[in-house]
Amino acid sequence: MDRAYLENRPPRWPWLLFGLMTLATFGGPIVIYLAIRGGESPVWPPDQFSEWVVFFAIVSLVLTLFLMCMGLAFVRRDDLNRLVSPRSHRSDPPNS
């Protein structure tokens, strides 16, 4: 492999974090629905303590992953700007 490519390649773990957030965002409501159906009443609001635990666990997981993704983007914004081509910014004046 080319050494310059390896040095300039962005890390893969932010993509993993984003993938986990996507899975939790789409799979979370399904898990909540299945957990709520398991109680005495299959409608909202949950009637068992375990259903509430599942609900708050999924919501907390999604919010935590979201905040981690946003925090990572905020902390690494200089690295993200470096990866963007200068030609992609139409408002930048041409280099002379």
Cα 66-84-96 angle, rounded to 5 deg: 150
* Predicted TM-score (pTM) of this structure: 0.65
pLDDT tens digits for range 38-60: 777 777 788 888 889 999 999 99
| Model pLDDT, residue 82 | 65
Query: Where do we find the tokens 């109680």?
Result: 39
Is the separation of the CB atoms in 37 and 43 below 8 Å? no
**Residue 95 pLDDT > 80:** no
